[in-house]
Amino acid sequence: MKLTNKTIVVTGVSSGIGAETARTLRAHGASVIGVDRNEPSLSLDAFVQADLSHPAAIDAAVQQLPAKVDGLCNIAGVPGTAEPQLVARVNYLGLRHLSAALLPRIASGGAIVNVSSVLGAEWPQRLALHRALGAVDGFAAGEAWLDAHPVAAATCYQYFKEALIVWTQMQAQPWFMDTSVRMNCVAPGPVFTPILNEFVTMLGAERAQADAHRIKRPAYADEVAPVIAFLCADESRWINGVNIPVDGGLASTYP
Ligand SMILES: NC(=O)c1ccc[n+]([C@@H]2O[C@H](COP(=O)([O-])OP(=O)(O)OC[C@H]3O[C@@H](n4cnc5c(N)ncnc54)[C@H](O)[C@@H]3O)[C@@H](O)[C@H]2O)c1
């Protein structure tokens, strides 16, 4: 993977998949600027502390980032056991806001990688809704749209991962045509990170058991990170607008 001399911004860098992605990118020669609400406990080239659930905090973080970067890995996320409004703000609205704010600073040939989830696999069932929200520009307008189209609290995590996959599909091509910056999703299945148990609580024992029988085991974060890194690298220069499952085959058992 060609990542030498690239500067990549990684959100959610202080834990789990984000931390492992930072390690992988740095091992391949990239400089990594981490962004998280929590202090990191790994070596980084720079770190910006920010709460990515607030547009003003995102704007302040962007001010602290370099004038030119080569990529953005949107990995920060909260599980569905968090407040639904927070899930919307961090996993979707804030991610979009940061991506749009940073896009003008991403060099031609650069990339944005969004971490979705196998739990977003049912996006075709709500495609019209996700397209409508995807067409609403801006954090505040997105919140207003969601006020008018409330999302069920119990499945809000799935809803916003679905919405992220659809927004990525909608936005990737126009951004690539205009700026030569690609955008893709990586969709992990269960991963051994500190929030894995939250997903079991969120889904309930029955669904968690059903999925557990369809996979060998949850992934380790170092089995997901290389795919995110690949999507930042020059070798993936013609991959745009896709959602790549990294789930040991779990999604392939759903249809
Ligand atoms: N672990 C899994 O089984 C799994 C499966 C599929 C998708 N995912 C997705 O992978 C991504 C990473 O999750 P993880 O498992 O590594 O979880 P994690 O809890 O280990 O890491 C998430 C990181 O995001 C940061 N974060 C959360 N809210 C934030 C905010 N408001 N502002 C700034 N930083 C914030 C946290 O501080 C943490 O460092 C998430 O988007 C999650 O939805 C995880």
Ligand 1 neighbourhood includes 190 CB (under 6 angstroms): yes
The Cα–Cα gap between 227 and 111 comes to 13
pLDDT at 207: 87
Q: Distance between the two ends of the chain, CA-based, in angstroms?
A: 33
Q: What is the dihedral of CA 87, 91, 97, 103, to 10 degrees?
A: 180
Task: Let me know if residue 224 belongs to a domain.
Answer: yes
Give me the sign of the Cα torsion angle 24, 107, 113, 33.
positive
User: pLDDT truncated to tens, each residue of the chain (255 aa)?
Assistant: 889 999 999 999 999 999 999 999 999 999 999 999 999 999 999 999 999 999 999 999 999 999 999 999 999 999 999 999 999 999 999 999 999 999 999 999 999 999 999 999 999 999 999 999 999 999 999 999 999 999 999 999 999 999 999 999 999 999 999 999 999 999 999 999 999 999 999 999 898 888 888 999 999 999 999 999 999 999 999 999 999 999 999 999 987
pLDDT at 98: 98
The Cα–Cα gap between 125 and 130 comes to 10
pLDDT at 255: 76
pLDDT at 254: 87
Neighbours of 16 (CB within 10 A): 23
| Residues involved in catalysis | 157
Ligand 1 neighbourhood includes 20 CB (under 6 angstroms): no
Ligand 1 neighbourhood includes 165 CB (under 6 angstroms): no
Task: Let me know if residue 19 belongs to a domain.
Answer: yes
Task: Let me know if residue 253 belongs to a domain.
Answer: no
Task: Let me know if residue 252 belongs to a domain.
Answer: no
Atom in ligand 1 nearest the alpha carbon of residue 53: 31
C-alpha Rg value of the chain to the nearest Å: 17
Ligand 1 neighbourhood includes 87 CB (under 6 angstroms): no
Residue partners of 187: CB distance under 8 A and separation at least 6 = 115, 116, 117, 118, 120, 121, 161, 165, 243, 244, 245, 246, 247, 251
pLDDT at 188: 98
For 148, the enclosing helix (H) or strand (E) is helix 139-148
Tokens representing 82? Answer: 């968090």
CA of 194 to the centre of ligand 1 (A): 9
Task: Let me know if residue 243 belongs to a domain.
Answer: no
CA of 44 to the centre of ligand 1 (A): 18
Neighbours of 67 (CB within 10 A): 6
pLDDT at 124: 97
If one counts the domains in the chain, the total is: 1
Task: Let me know if residue 92 belongs to a domain.
Answer: yes
pTM for this model (two decimals) = 0.98
> Burial of 148 by CB count in 10 Å (0-12 exposed, 13-18 middle, 19+ buried)?
exposed
CA of 91 to the centre of ligand 1 (A): 9
The Cα–Cα gap between 7 and 214 comes to 38
The Cα–Cα gap between 247 and 115 comes to 12
Domain of residue 130 covers 7-237
| Residue minimizing CA distance to atom 8 of ligand 1 | 117
pLDDT at 125: 97
**CATH code, domain carrying 204:** 3.40.50.720
CA of 16 to the centre of ligand 1 (A): 7
Task: Let me know if residue 242 belongs to a domain.
Answer: no
Task: Let me know if residue 69 belongs to a domain.
Answer: yes
